[in-house]
């Protein structure tokens, strides 16, 4: 049985070929079997030897080479690929695929594969913006080809504009996402909130909490990898943005409320992992409040309870809340589950070692109307997948 995933990388003739070496190296480090096909033009930019040394596999450079084993035979790579990535992709290869041309090993393999094909274009801005190239890209998208949009920046030719290939790190993240074999959330629209909110007191001070956003981000990443369409509404965090999902950045609890309501309509599942401030200053001071008395009182007003409101209009959606508690964890969580009309609540004791804010692990209990499951300490990624597994068990 073949367990190791196989990625076939088509390398075409552009200056960004050197970045493909980095992609090969990163995929190999993740224990992925990598096979490289170089076009004739690509071989002008880097040697076959470099790709062979990094991939530890023979590199295909010519369709009419005598194959030295079954593994490099004609369309064998098309069959073996779990993902076929073309990086960098020239205007030429995009045009050829879009028009059904199969006149070399790479274009033939693309035509013959049933694996997802990911294309990372890299070219001069004028070439990229050429309506013919754009039409070819749109055409391929309509057939389900994946595109990793190029970035804007200073290009090798000296021009500044769109056409710079995405970074190897992001391209590898996209490939890994496609390689994830369990797509049990495919077609589901999941709205996830994460992080803290900030309630301004004056131009330099705010009320917030210790939420790092790590749990919500882990759920968003896991749901994305399992095929869901994810919208992440996030308060201010220091985490790297998650690629290939819709992200809405918010600041205050009021912003969070608006963003949740704006995105609720299309959601099948709502997971509210954000730590929304319960209270805001009653009055905002537009100038910095000066130090004066030995003590001061800051009047606060209660913020809208977003989860309560979402629970009251939930319709057929599955609504999942979080309860970060310091005492009576399960009792408080169960109360919240029924009071807010939730389907599930994920409870954790933030005072527990290895649990709660700003750590990469969590010790959670998942509570539904029928069941309570308490887990040992898990990474937040593991906890995220357990939460998603339990959501899928909820009948609608």
Ligand X SMILES: Cc1cc2nc3c(=O)[nH]c(=O)nc-3n(C[C@H](O)[C@H](O)[C@H](O)COP(=O)(O)O)c2cc1C
Is residue 340 marked as binding? yes
Q: Which residues are catalytic?
A: 157
Residues 15-34 that bind ligand X (CB under 6 A): 15
Among 6, 90, 234, 365, binds ligand X (CB under 6 A): 90
Q: Which span (90-98, 134-142, 182-190, 277-285) binds ligand X, by CB under 6 A? A: 90-98
Q: How many CB atoms lie within 10 A of CB 124?
A: 19
Q: How many CB atoms lie within 10 A of CB 9?
A: 27
Question: Counting contacts by CB under 6 A, is residue 111 touching ligand X?
Answer: no
The answer to whether 342 and 293 are in contact (CB under 8 A) is no
CB of 288 to ligand X, least distance (A): 52
Bridge-partner residues for 378, per DSSP?
Answer: 362
Residues 119-148 that bind ligand X (CB under 6 A): 122-123, 127
**Residue with the two structure tokens 């695929």:** 97
The answer to whether 115 and 9 are in contact (CB under 8 A) is no
Question: Counting contacts by CB under 6 A, is residue 39 touching ligand X?
Answer: yes
Q: Which span (27-35, 37-45, 52-60, 175-183) binds ligand X, by CB under 6 A? A: 37-45
Number of residues that bind ligand X (CB under 6 A): 14
User: Cα(3)–Cα(5) distance, rounded to whole angstroms?
Assistant: 6
Among 9, 42, 219, 242, binds ligand X (CB under 6 A): 42
Question: Counting contacts by CB under 6 A, is residue 242 touching ligand X?
Answer: no
CB of 92 to ligand X, least distance (A): 4
Q: Residue 311: helix, strand or coil by DSSP? A: helix
Is residue 114 marked as binding? no
Is residue 380 marked as binding? no
Q: Please list, in sequence order, all residues whose beta carbon lies within 8 angstroms of the beta carbon of residue 358, skipping any fewer than 6 positions away.
A: 210, 212, 214
Q: Residue 37: helix, strand or coil by DSSP? A: strand
Tokens describing residue 382:
């593991």
The answer to whether 93 and 121 are in contact (CB under 8 A) is no
User: Cα(321)–Cα(340) distance, rounded to whole angstroms?
Assistant: 9
Q: Which span (7-15, 52-60, 223-231, 288-296) binds ligand X, by CB under 6 A? A: 7-15
Residues near ligand X, by CB under 6 A: 12-15, 39, 41-42, 90-93, 122-123, 127
Binding-site residue ranges: 278, 288, 322, 336, 340
Binding-site residue ranges for CTP: 278, 288, 322, 336, 340
């Amino acid at each position: 049985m073949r367990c190791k995933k196989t990625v076939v990388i088509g390398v075409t003739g552009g200056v960004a070929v050197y970045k493909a070496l980095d992609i090969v190296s990163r995929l190999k480090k993740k224990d992925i079997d990598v096979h490289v096909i170089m076009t004739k033009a690509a071989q002008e930019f880097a040697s076959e030897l470099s790709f062979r040394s990094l991939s530890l596999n023979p590199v295909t450079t010519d369709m009419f080479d005598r194959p030295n084993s079954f593994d490099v035979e004609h369309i064998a790579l098309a069959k073996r690929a779990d993902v076929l990535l073309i990086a960098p992709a020239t205007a030429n290869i995009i045009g050829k695929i879009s028009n059904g041309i199969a006149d070399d090993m790479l274009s033939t393999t693309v035509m013959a594969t049933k694996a997802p094909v990911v294309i990372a274009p890299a070219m001069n801005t004028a070439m990229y913006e050429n309506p013919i190239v754009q039409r070819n890209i749109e055409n391929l998208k309509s057939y389900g080809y994946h595109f990793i949009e190029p970035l804007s920046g200073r290009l090798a030719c000296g021009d500044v504009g769109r056409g710079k290939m995405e970074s190897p790190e992001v391209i590898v993240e996209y490939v890994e996402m496609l390689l994830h074999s369990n797509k049990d959330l495919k077609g589901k629209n999941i709205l996830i909130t994460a992080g803290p909110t900030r309630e301004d007191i004056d131009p330099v001070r705010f009320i917030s909490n210790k939420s790092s956003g790590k749990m919500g981000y882990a759920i968003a990443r896991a749901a994305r990898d399992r095929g869901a369409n994810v919208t992440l509404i996030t308060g201010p965090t220091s985490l790297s943005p998650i690629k290939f999902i819709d992200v809405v950045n918010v600041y205050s609890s009021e912003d969070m409320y608006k963003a949740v309501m704006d995105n609720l309509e299309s959601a099948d599942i709502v997971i509210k992992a954000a730590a929304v401030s319960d209270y805001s200053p009653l009055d905002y001071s537009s100038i910095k409040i000066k130090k004066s008395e030995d003590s001061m009182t800051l009047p606060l007003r209660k913020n809208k309870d977003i989860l309560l409101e979402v629970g009251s209009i939930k319709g057929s959606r599955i609504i999942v809340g979080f309860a970060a508690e310091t005492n009576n964890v399960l009792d408080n969580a169960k109360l919240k589950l029924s009071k807010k009309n939730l389907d599930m609540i994920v409870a954790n004791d933030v005072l527990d070692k290895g649990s709660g804010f700003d750590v990469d692990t969590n010790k959670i209990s998942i509570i539904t109307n029928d069941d309570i499951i308490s887990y040992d300490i898990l990474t937040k990624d593991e906890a995220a997948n357990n939460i998603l597994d339990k959501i899928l068990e909820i009948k609608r």
